[in-house]
Amino acid sequence: MNFLEERIVKNGIVKEGNILKVDSFLNHQLDVDLFDRMGIEWAKRFEGVEINKILTIEASGIGIACVVARHFGVPVVFAKKSKSVNLDGEMYTAEVESFTHKNKNVVIVSKKFLNKDDKVLIIDDFLANGCALQGLISIINQAGASVSGIGIAIEKGFQNGGQIIRNMGYKLESLAIVDSMDASTGEIKFRDQI
Ligand code: 5GP
């Protein structure tokens, strides 16, 4: 088990409805040293890949992305969730369905902060069905920028987001892939990674 898998086993709580609660270190209280180790690991996995910007989505992605960005020496842009769609043409927009809240949000990024020369690493906390990632990829495409790679802390491998994103040809690096989890026993099984 790697450092993140160990932490998930120690502090993660499996909830009904395929939800893994990790709010003691990733989603509410934030373990910045852990984020730093995640940054070291992604810097290794994306070594040699051209990256000049990190894109994430509010809220949980921001803290992780900021710490990770120090290992890449690049700025972080986060997609904002917006109730009203700004149609003045100054924003890239995408619709994202929230897995945890079961509602739809429009996410926006100002055209000022993403352009065709950008080589973007997407960072997020979880990958479930892949809606959040598809929204971020759409925004990068609208900007004419390119996706250099995707770093996810926890992928729920029993949901189809990871397969969809890998089939699209993206370099997706999830630090922990949960293949199954059981709310009644609390047992979590991880996919073997080399
Ligand atoms: P997706 O768009 O891939 O279906 O879901 C990704 C988003 O949903 C993540 O950014 C995360 O905020 C949230 N999410 C999905 N599954 C879980 C989960 O099991 N636990 C937590 N804490 N968040 C989740």
Segments making up each domain of the chain, as ranges: 3-190
Buried-state track 112-139, b at ≥16 Cβ within 10 A, e below 16:
eebeeebbbbbbbbbbbebbbbbbbbbb
Residue 85 confidence (pLDDT) above 80: no
| Region 150-170 average pLDDT | 98
pLDDT-based confidence at residue 84 (cuts at 50, 70, 90): low
Q: How far apart, in whole angstroms, are the C-alpha atoms of residue 10 and residue 36?
A: 19
Give the residue from 119, 1, 109 showing the smallest Cα distance to 51. Answer: 119
Residue 110 confidence (pLDDT) above 90: yes
Instruction: Identify which of 27, 80, 100, 158 to mutate to test ligand 1's pocket (most ligand atoms within 8 A of the CB).
Output: 100
Instruction: Identify which of 4, 57, 96, 125 to mutate to test ligand 1's pocket (most ligand atoms within 8 A of the CB).
Output: 125
Residue 53 confidence (pLDDT) above 80: yes
Cα 99 to the chain's mean position, in Å? 13
Beta-carbon count within 10 A of 28 CB: 11
Which range, of 1-15, 20-34, 97-111, averages the lowest pLDDT?
A: 97-111
Residue at 144: amino acid letter: G
List of residues 6+ apart from 170 with CB closer than 8 A: 137, 147, 149, 150
CATH number assigned to the domain covering 3-190: 3.40.50.2020
Residue 192 confidence (pLDDT) above 70: yes
Q: How far apart, in whole angstroms, are the C-alpha atoms of residue 133 and residue 118?
A: 17
Q: What's the pLDDT at 87? A: 59
| Region 80-102 average pLDDT | 82
Establish whether residue 121 lines the binding site of ligand 1, counting it when its CB lies within 6 angstroms of any ligand atom. Answer: no
pLDDT-based confidence at residue 19 (cuts at 50, 70, 90): very high
- Its pTM surpasses 0.85: yes
Instruction: Please name the residue whose Cα sits nearest to atom 5 of ligand 1.
Output: 128
Residue 194 confidence (pLDDT) above 80: no
Establish whether residue 128 lines the binding site of ligand 1, counting it when its CB lies within 6 angstroms of any ligand atom. Answer: yes
pLDDT-based confidence at residue 103 (cuts at 50, 70, 90): confident
- Residue 46: phi and psi, rounded to 5, are -110, 20
Distances (CA, A) of 23 to 31, 85, 105, 108, 134: 10, 30, 22, 25, 24
Share of the chain above pLDDT 90, in %: 90
